[in-house]
Amino acid sequence: MINLQHDNSSRREQRLDLSIVPGKNLGWFRLGTSVWDIINFLREQSRIIPSVDLKYTDESPILTDLFLSLPANGINMRFDGPTQRLKSIEVNDFSKLRLTYQDSEVSSSKAAPTFLSIYKIFGPTYPGELDKTKNEYTLNYPGVSFVFPIPKEHISLFISSTDLPLELPDGTSPLLSRLHTYHGANFRNVTVPPLLRNANPENMGSNGDLGEVESVVAELKRGITVNFLARNNSSPISVEILLNVTTPQDLIVDIGSPLRIFYKEEDKMRIHSEDIGVNSTEDGETASNNTLSNGVENHIQEGVARLEVLGEDDDIESTSTQAGNNYVTSEMKIDKISELIGPPSGRPLIFNRGAGGQNPFGPTELSGYDGAVFE
């Protein structure tokens, strides 16, 4: 787990004010948004969101789900491992939030979220699910579920009954303990939503003026093609980034200004260029907008396509590399890559990005090919 703690010395306590759109978003947090866009947004909200925890599996960080928690705000987010896109949101502390649905208050300092109030706001639905082992009752609507604890002395009343526990025998109504909004059949079986073809009204999770990136294809020795989703009934747009042709100015005109810029001061791999047949390769100090310029000819020298592992440095979306008629994707292991395009040129190089023990995954291997290096 990684904790991203902000300096909150000047922060005043404030409830987040979020609207519930079942199956789509909770306030700013839209299902389908990449973990990079969420974290980049949270960096700008440190006054009201002071702490962020990233949780992942050390053994298989790419293939298993990862979790982002806002402990001071009572929110947990679940991301798909391979795509790193948000697929469910959980709220577990309603004292820290003001939640609304359409024009009604679901939870606030003046309104407690009870079974009865939830049912009145969201309307009729099918009988829910009773978990006898946890003494919990789940009320389900399309794209949103509400979990209520049932006192042990009353649980038997609902085991064989289809009645909703609107009120308990003591006259109280169960108090909401968790809210889940998600894409999928239910909050236990969530899936990644499709990419949106419309602009995001909150301006979070969009990639410049061109909208959502559908795919990124790198062609060895030629460059990178970024394919954007068709939006608002327009035709799909593809932008080519060509090695030794495209300039930084071309990039800004074509795809807009980058969210962040990283400067690569030296090429630590150049000493190996004659052995592995390439002139310039990734060394881990590369640009978040996936390109490097040489500062002299002012042309793009290198394209970097990364599926970022949380706990390392920066970011990027899923990509593929074209070699002949074969496509190498960001989820493949080196054995599969070797089957498609042949063995690498020589032994892999060892690269340790986490000086001082900051990288929990240890060193990586760089396997070189003519025109590419795979980390």
**pLDDT, tens digit only, all 375 positions of the chain:** 666 655 554 444 578 999 999 999 999 999 999 998 899 899 888 889 999 999 988 777 778 899 999 999 999 999 998 889 999 999 999 999 999 999 999 999 999 999 999 999 999 999 899 999 999 999 999 999 999 999 999 988 888 777 888 999 999 999 999 999 999 988 989 999 887 655 444 445 444 567 778 888 888 888 889 888 877 667 788 899 998 899 988 888 888 888 778 776 656 666 666 544 444 444 433 333 444 444 444 566 666 655 444 444 443 344 556 555 567 887 788 898 888 888 988 889 888 866 555 666 678 888 888 888 888
Question: Which of 281-288's residues contact partners 24+ apart within 8 Å by CB, and which partners?
Answer: 281/366, 281/368, 281/373, 282/366, 282/373, 282/375, 283/351, 284/313, 284/351, 284/353, 286/262, 287/258, 287/261, 287/262, 287/263, 288/258, 288/259, 288/260, 288/261, 288/262, 288/314, 288/315, 288/316
Give 139's strand partners: 146
Element (H, E) at 35: helix 35-43
Q: Which amino acid is at 328?
A: V
Q: What separation in angstroms does the CA of 293 have from each of 231, 238, 285?
A: 30, 21, 13
DSSP labels, 321-352:
EEETTEEEETT--HHHHHHHH---SSSPEEE-
Rounded Cα gap, residues 325 and 14, in angstroms? 55
Whole-number Å distance between alpha carbons of 375 and 369: 11
Q: Note the pLDDT tens digit of each residue in 81-109.
A: 888 999 999 999 999 999 999 999 999 99
